[in-house]
Amino acid sequence: MRIASLVCAFLVLAAAPALAAAEKAGAAVVAGDVPNDAGGAIDVTWQPSPAEEEIGFKGYEVQRRVAGEPEFATVAESVVGETTFRDEDAENGVAYEYQVRVLGAEGAPTVLGTAEAKASGQWFNTARSNALAGVLFTSFVIIFFILRARGGAELFVRKIAGLEAVEEAIGRATEMGKPILFVSGLADASEISTIAAMTILAKVARKTAEYETPLIVPCYDPIVMMVEKEMVRQAYAEMGKPDAFDEDSVFFVTQSQFGYVAAVDGIMLREKPATNFYMGAFYAESLILAETGAATGAIQIAGTDRVTQLPFFITACDYTLMGEELYAATAYLGRDPLFLGSLKGQDWSKAAIILALIVGTVFLIISTDLGLWFAKLFETAAS
Amino acid sequence: MHISTDIWIWIAAILTLCIYSFLYKDNPFYKFAEHLLVGVSAGYFFVIYFWNLVVPNLLTPLKTGFGTLFSGGGFTGDLAALVPGILGLIILTRLIPKIAWMSRWAIGFYFGAFQGIIITGYMQAYILAQIYGTFMKGADPVFSIAYFGNFFGDPSWGKVLLAVSGPLMIVGVICTLTYFFFSTEHKGFVGGVAKIGIVFLMIGFGASFGYTVMARVSLLIGRLQFLLRDWLGIIS
Amino acid sequence: MNLYEKFLHIDRRYIFIFVALGVIIPLIWPLGLAVTTSPPVENVYKAIEELEPGTPVLVSVDYDPSTQPELSPMTVAVLRHCFYRDLPVIITVLHPGGPGLALEISDRISKEMGATYGEDYVFLGYKVGGSAVILSMGQDFQVSFPADYFNTPIDDIPLMKNVRNYNDVGLVITMSGSTYPEVWVAYAHERYGQKIAAGVTAVMAADYYPFLQTGQLVGLIGGLKGAAEYEKLIERPDDGLKGMDAQTIVHLFVVLMILLGNLAFFFVKRAKKREAA
Amino acid sequence: MRRELPLAICFIMGLIMTVQFFVPHHYSQWLFDNMLKWLIIVLTFAMILGIGNLVKLHLQKVQHRRRDWLYSIVALFGVTASLVTGFGWGIEADSPFMVLYNYVQIPMQATMFSLLAFYIASAAFRTFRARTVEATLLLVAAVIVMLGRVPLEGIVGRWLPDLAEWILDYPNMAAKRGIMIGIGLGAISTALKIILGIERSWLGGGD
């Protein structure tokens, strides 16, 4: 399936020499549409003039006219040290003629050459074909295993300590008669980790409903609050305890990062929850929360995909779900075969990536050029 | 020593001390500051979003759009602002229990749009760029037989590091990825590789922790400079 | 509970007190610990040293008060350097939280250095738009900044008479706690070939090293340490170097606590083993 | 209507935004640029609900004289102050709203943030113990990097900062990359499940 990405990437590589060839053909000035853009831009490149070396060289001047019109207008002047110019002000589909002039030490400018081009917008960004291949490949593998799981295939998943501890932590809070605090990150619902956190909350709420343990869910984002309130309500209803659901247990605080932290710190010291969950996206505040929680003696289970915050949760919390484990938690807690299937798909994608890393290494051993060619297949264009 | 005479500096300084009092223990001063901060900041973001986003991207285009429409100018792109306007109103149906379910339409829109952005964005930044980065450092490959050649030609610490760091990087990425396998037991060969993955994870976490200490201290320096300089005028 | 065990369970408020003292003392009585300079910072310094007197430098204050402790010292050092070298400074702000900071710093440093507004420096203020603003300055400053922060048309400002776009600017330095340097590189450098240097927080610095390798940034000042190095280069110690003292002390304190903690932990463990045996 | 329609909308939007990424044409760019703004506008409407919720909770506390109800008055005062100054006088640089922001909100936020300097020290002391091999690795790496960032070259030489840099650039980077690739796959898998309607707990309950 990597073949698909190879093929796509090949197309990109094949296109590049074609452009280079045009430049090499010897024309003093070359103009062409900027590839992979929304249109409206033309690149003009030219061969450096020997005049560059002369004393008093003032630079190049790029002029433009709509093909067929009499007058040129200057679009760039005194270009020094570069032999390209990107005209961002071109209208799509209009043929422009570009003229590059050399401004020497004295006398009239000399014309280096002219070239013609039209700007256009593209319908497919070839620089992103590797991303397309990647998306198609992973989606295919994941959906394939989801479908297999739906067909009833048995799927094994290994243990994750942090998730094994969830039940125990809820049980402990129940015994102590203390509440459970659930923080679903400091990001809005656009973050995948927030969504993962919300689905974990839905599972945790089923357990707190079962044991009738009080649950405290302060929210950072109003949409997350709306959705979480419904999820928790649903969880209580499903466990046959709709009346045990407290409308005010899921509430909005503020979207200010440290305002939110100030409030949650206060809750920890005043309500003294026996268990703190930190799931989702966290930033610098991760350690403030985790250290305050540790000082109150709560069991703390964290999970985040913020690589920079993992060290703080790892050190200050009892259990930490690292990166992908956070997303996997829903599958574990729910034991839904479809979700387990998607985990299997992720594993196979991982295996494919490991294979790609090994292949790349072998190529690098055989020849640096071959290895570089392979590595470039994964290069991403900035915009 | 020149104590500030600016009332606002005093307010800021006192609130700063109220927050610091939390380090000792929870107390009425902290509670006061905490509730004030929550209230003020909750309102702040609403006001900022309103002026910076809702006005230029919703109210103004709707005004021009409808202005043109009613003066016979036909439909213009400005009226696209109706989309978020209507979605926003749909979100508010949550306030009316009878039709609260309608808010799911807007949430579906919101969630769906972001999932599309996530799929492609993560593929690009979290997968492709990381694979590429495993092989490359700047414009050079992290690993090449030539680096070993260089080392044996003229051995030095720098060259041995250059030669072995690349392979170490690749091995590290593979082992760490292996740790994240969910559908195989961490036993035997896979278990061994995953163990090495844990070694990399722990070194990485330790290093990031140590790396961050400095930045955190500078925040404290900033606050203390405010107290000692702007408020008390002890330092210049 | 013996002494070691007591130490292991020491009230963390004692640690807090030591951290606070470790910062306060050097702020009041600077220690003047030595700082060695590093190439990324030296390169920013060189880029400014190499400019002909009279060549404008654009300093963009793209941060807000949350990262001010780290970024203001370097902004101050760079401004001083420019004024020493008679390089006119154009100050812009792309972050909505920046104008107040930029105003305060430019006011203070210009007074200290005897720089005249309109001739030695100009404050263009904040413009919303980020990348669009950066792009427009490549065409003409007039587009985004028809007037300065105080509403004087830029045509009436002596400094701006000879400045139309990036062609007339020797160097752009962006001070940012977020991703603005990337935007500057993508638009001002990639499209207009403008030389860019950046000042960023210590945490962000690692993300920008690759830009140095590719030459997209001519230099990089990272965190308080970077500011301290810059102060050393221009031989004008200030908040950066003072801050470094404090940081060094706290670092060493934390390391010491970790070592003592482990020592105590080791003794407690050994004692327990003996008891068991 | 109540469950199928939102799922369908979610599916269609997910598909559109995925395809959009590969299309550089300006219609597609227009959609992307506007979509981001629209989504934040939707969020702003939702904030009415959020703030409403906050105000309601605190009003209840005051009304029923629950524990700490006096502080609820402070919170209500804060919200009111922000909203009244923000809508009454605008958000220009010297407006009352910005004064409130600069001298009330910013100092407190920055102070909360700076608590980290204390907590990072206490956390390091409390948890960096050589209990296991893994914990020892973590602790040694942390100490090396911390010392490497202190200007001690005069005393111990360049090797320490160089070693710290090397740890950050290689073993640390390798671990980060491994985690990030896993995150990428997990995120794509989760997003896919949401678009396809397999993960639908966000719909909540009811019909």
Query: What's the ipTM?
Result: 0.88
Question: pLDDT tens digit string along D102-133?
Answer: 899 999 999 999 999 999 999 999 999 999 99
CA B56 to chain centre: 25
Chain B window 33-62: which residues touch A at a Cβ cutoff of 8 Å? 33-34, 37-42, 44-45
Residues sharing a CB contact under 8 Å with residue A377, sequence separation 6 or more, in sequence order: A5, A6, A9, A130
Interchain CB contacts (distance < 8 Å): B and D:
403
For residue D207, what pLDDT is reported? 54
Evaluate whether residue B109 is within a structural domain. no
As a whole number of angstroms, the distance between CA A219 and CA A227 comes to 11
The beta-strand segments (E) located in chain B are 136-137, 140-141
For residue A105, what pLDDT is reported? 72
As a whole number of angstroms, the distance between CA B203 and CA B230 comes to 41
Q: Do C35 and D113 touch (CB under 8 A)?
A: no
D127 closest CB neighbour out of A188, A315, A345: A315
As a whole number of angstroms, the distance between CA B126 and CA A337 comes to 27
Evaluate whether residue B44 is within a structural domain. yes
Report which of B130, B154, B127 is spatially closest to residue B142, judged by C-alpha positions.
B130
Domain match, A135 and A168 both: no
Q: B-side interface with C, Cβ within 8 Å?
A: 23-24, 52, 137-139, 211-215, 217-225, 228, 234-235
Evaluate whether residue B131 is within a structural domain. no
What is the chain B residue with the closest CA to A137?
B123
Q: Do C100 and D122 touch (CB under 8 A)?
A: no
Question: pLDDT tens digit string along D78-95?
Answer: 999 999 999 999 887 678
For residue D138, what pLDDT is reported? 94
Domain match, B4 and B72 both: yes
Domain match, A309 and A171 both: yes
A192 closest CB neighbour out of D42, D127, D191: D191
Q: Which residues pair with B228 in a beta bridge?
A: none
Evaluate whether residue A41 is within a structural domain. yes
Domain match, B154 and B74 both: no
Q: Do A383 and C193 touch (CB under 8 A)?
A: no
Residue B143, by phi and psi: left (phi above 0), alpha (psi -120 to 50) or beta? beta
For residue D153, what pLDDT is reported? 64
How many domains is chain B partitioned into structurally?
Answer: 2
Question: Which of D35, D38, D53, D89 to mutate to probe the B interface, most B CBs <10 Å?
Answer: D38
Domain match, C218 and C263 both: no
Domain match, C92 and C149 both: yes
The beta-strand segments (E) located in A34-103 are 42-46, 59-66, 73-79, 84-87, 95-103
Q: Do B26 and A266 touch (CB under 8 A)?
A: yes
Interchain CB contacts (distance < 8 Å): A and C:
10
Backbone angles phi, psi at B114, to 5 degrees: -70, -35
Domain match, A227 and A239 both: yes
Domain match, C257 and C148 both: no
**Smallest CA–CA separation between D63 and chain C, in Å?**
37
**Smallest CA–CA separation between C104 and chain A, in Å?**
25
Evaluate whether residue B112 is within a structural domain. no
8 Å CB contact between D112 and A283: no
Domain match, A29 and A114 both: yes
Report which of C48, C150, C46 is spatially closest to residue C102, judged by C-alpha positions.
C150
In this structure, what token pair is assigned to residue A245? 């659901």
Domain match, B85 and B159 both: no
Interface partners of A (3+ CB pairs, < 8 Å)?
Answer: B, C, D
Chain D CB contacts of C16 under 8 Å are 118, 121-122
How many domains is chain A partitioned into structurally?
Answer: 3
Give the long-range contacts of residues A208-213, CB within 8 A, separation 24 or more: A208/A170, A208/A180, A209/A235, A209/A236, A209/A238, A209/A239, A209/A241, A209/A244, A209/A245, A210/A239, A210/A241, A211/A170, A211/A171, A211/A174, A212/A174, A212/A241, A212/A244, A213/A170, A213/A173, A213/A174, A213/A179, A213/A180
User: What single DSSP character describes residue A109?
Assistant: P
8 Å CB contact between B42 and A221: no
Domain match, A190 and A150 both: no
Expressed as residue numbers, the domain containing A351 is 124-154+338-383
Q: Is A222 touching D (CB cutoff 8 A)?
A: yes
The helix (run of H) or strand (run of E) holding residue B204 is helix B188-225
Chain D CB contacts of C100 under 8 Å are 93, 102
Q: Is B204 touching D (CB cutoff 8 A)?
A: yes
Q: Say yes or no to pLDDT of A81 above 80.
A: no
The helix (run of H) or strand (run of E) holding residue C92 is strand C89-93
The residue-averaged pLDDT of A54-82 equals: 82
Domain match, B3 and B88 both: yes
Q: Do A231 and D204 touch (CB under 8 A)?
A: yes
Interchain CB contacts (distance < 8 Å): C and D:
79
Report which of A103, A94, A96 is spatially closest to residue A73, judged by C-alpha positions.
A96
Chain D CB contacts of A312 under 8 Å are 123
Domain match, C43 and C115 both: yes
CA B160 to chain centre: 37
Evaluate whether residue B124 is within a structural domain. no
Q: Say yes or no to pLDDT of D100 above 90.
A: yes
Domain match, A231 and A346 both: no
**Pairing mode, strands A110-118 and A95-103:** antiparallel
8 Å CB contact between A180 and A214: yes
In this structure, what token pair is assigned to residue C208? 């920008």
Domain match, B166 and B222 both: yes
Q: Is B128 touching A (CB cutoff 8 A)?
A: yes
Interface partners of D (3+ CB pairs, < 8 Å)?
Answer: A, B, C
Domain match, A354 and A291 both: no
Q: Do B217 and C16 touch (CB under 8 A)?
A: no
Domain match, B229 and B157 both: yes
As a whole number of angstroms, the distance between CA A313 and CA A300 comes to 9
Q: Which residues pair with A119 in a beta bridge?
A: A92
Domain match, C73 and C202 both: yes
Q: Which amino acid is at D154?
A: G
Q: Do D116 and B174 touch (CB under 8 A)?
A: no
**Smallest CA–CA separation between D21 and chain C, in Å?**
19
Chain B CB contacts of A361 under 8 Å are 143, 167, 170
The residue-averaged pLDDT of B50-59 equals: 86
Per-residue pLDDT of chain C (277 residues; tens, 9 = 90+): 688 888 998 999 999 999 999 999 999 998 888 888 888 999 999 999 999 999 999 999 999 887 888 999 999 999 999 999 999 999 999 987 788 889 889 999 999 999 999 999 999 988 877 777 888 888 889 888 888 988 889 999 999 988 988 989 999 999 998 889 988 988 888 778 899 999 999 878 877 877 887 788 999 999 888 999 999 999 999 889 988 899 889 989 999 999 999 999 999 999 888 888 7
Chain B CB contacts of A258 under 8 Å are 37
pTM equals 0.87
8 Å CB contact between C169 and C90: yes
Evaluate whether residue B122 is within a structural domain. no
Domain match, A329 and A367 both: no
Q: Say yes or no to pLDDT of A21 above 70.
A: no
Q: Is B134 touching A (CB cutoff 8 A)?
A: yes
Provide the H-helix boundaries in C67-201: 68-84, 99-113, 131-139, 141-144, 158-161, 180-184, 190-192
As a whole number of angstroms, the distance between CA C173 and CA C152 comes to 24
Q: Which one of B95, B116, B132 terminates a domain?
A: B95
Q: Is C258 touching D (CB cutoff 8 A)?
A: yes
Provide the H-helix boundaries in chain C: 3-8, 12-28, 39-49, 68-84, 99-113, 131-139, 141-144, 158-161, 180-184, 190-192, 202-213, 223-233, 239-276
Residues sharing a CB contact under 8 Å with residue A11, sequence separation 6 or more, in sequence order: A126, A129
Evaluate whether residue C138 is within a structural domain. yes
The residue-averaged pLDDT of B203-216 equals: 89
Q: Is A233 touching C (CB cutoff 8 A)?
A: no
Q: Do D146 and C33 touch (CB under 8 A)?
A: no
Interface partners of C (3+ CB pairs, < 8 Å)?
Answer: A, B, D
Confidence of residue A5 (pLDDT cuts 50, 70, 90): very low
Q: Do A256 and B141 touch (CB under 8 A)?
A: no
For residue B28, what pLDDT is reported? 97
Report which of C40, C61, C159, C161 is spatially closest to residue C104, judged by C-alpha positions.
C61
Evaluate whether residue C33 is within a structural domain. no
For residue A280, what pLDDT is reported? 95
Chain D CB contacts of A90 under 8 Å are none
For residue A8, what pLDDT is reported? 42
Evaluate whether residue C59 is within a structural domain. yes
Question: pLDDT tens digit string along A91-119?
Answer: 888 999 999 988 877 777 888 888 999 98
Q: Is A258 touching D (CB cutoff 8 A)?
A: yes
CATH number at residue A179: 3.40.50
Domain match, C197 and C272 both: no
How many domains is chain C partitioned into structurally?
Answer: 2
Chain C window 156-215: which residues touch D at a Cβ cutoff of 8 Å? 206
Domain match, A41 and A165 both: no
Is the pLDDT higher at A298 or at B72?
A298
The residue-averaged pLDDT of B162-191 equals: 92
Domain match, B164 and B87 both: no
As a whole number of angstroms, the distance between CA C88 and CA B151 comes to 49
In chain A, % of residues over pLDDT 90: 56
Dihedral angle sign, alpha carbons of residues B202, B204, B210, B216: negative
Expressed as residue numbers, the domain containing C272 is 3-28+246-276
* Residue with token string 């671990």: D175
Chain B window 82-141: which residues touch D at a Cβ cutoff of 8 Å? 83-85, 87-89, 91-92, 94-95, 101, 104-123, 125-127, 130-131, 133-134
As a whole number of angstroms, the distance between CA A163 and CA A168 comes to 10
Q: Say yes or no to pLDDT of B14 above 80.
A: yes
Counted residue by residue, chain B has a size of 236
In this structure, what token pair is assigned to residue B135? 């092989």
Report which of A178, A260, A259 is spatially closest to residue A211, judged by C-alpha positions.
A178
Evaluate whether residue A316 is within a structural domain. yes
Give the long-range contacts of residues A314-320, CB within 8 A, separation 24 or more: A314/B205, A314/D138, A315/B205, A315/B209, A315/D123, A315/D124, A315/D127, A315/D128, A315/D138, A316/A287, A316/A290, A316/A291, A316/D123, A316/D126, A316/D127, A317/A278, A317/A290, A317/A293, A318/A165, A319/A161, A319/A162, A319/A165, A320/A162
Interface partners of B (3+ CB pairs, < 8 Å)?
Answer: A, C, D
Q: Do C251 and D130 touch (CB under 8 A)?
A: no
What is the spatial order of strands in the sheet that A299-304 belongs to?
A: A250-252, A215-219, A180-183, A275-279, A299-304, A319-322
In this structure, what token pair is assigned to residue A82? 């570069």
What is the chain D residue with the closest CA to A259?
D109
**Smallest CA–CA separation between A57 and chain B, in Å?**
33
Domain match, A211 and A323 both: yes
Q: Say yes or no to pLDDT of A77 above 80.
A: no
For residue A10, what pLDDT is reported? 37
Q: Do C193 and A308 touch (CB under 8 A)?
A: no
Domain match, A204 and A319 both: yes
As a whole number of angstroms, the distance between CA B105 and CA A226 comes to 13
Domain match, C118 and C181 both: yes
**Smallest CA–CA separation between C247 and chain D, in Å?**
8
Domain match, C144 and C258 both: no
Evaluate whether residue B90 is within a structural domain. yes
Evaluate whether residue B101 is within a structural domain. no
For residue A228, what pLDDT is reported? 95
For residue A56, what pLDDT is reported? 74
Domain match, C131 and C230 both: yes
CA D108 to chain centre: 18
Chain D CB contacts of C247 under 8 Å are 150
Evaluate whether residue C34 is within a structural domain. no
In chain A, % of residues over pLDDT 70: 92
For residue A25, what pLDDT is reported? 52
As a whole number of angstroms, the distance between CA C229 and CA C244 comes to 10
Evaluate whether residue A2 is within a structural domain. no
For residue D8, what pLDDT is reported? 96
* Residue with token string 């974990």: A200
Question: Which of D30, D82, D139, D193 to mutate to probe the A interface, most A CBs <10 Å?
Answer: D193
What is the chain A residue with the closest CA to B177?
A350
Expressed as residue numbers, the domain containing B154 is 142-236
Evaluate whether residue A4 is within a structural domain. no
The helix (run of H) or strand (run of E) holding residue A202 is helix A192-211
Domain match, C136 and C171 both: yes
Q: Say yes or no to pLDDT of A19 above 70.
A: no
Evaluate whether residue C241 is within a structural domain. no
Domain match, B148 and B219 both: yes
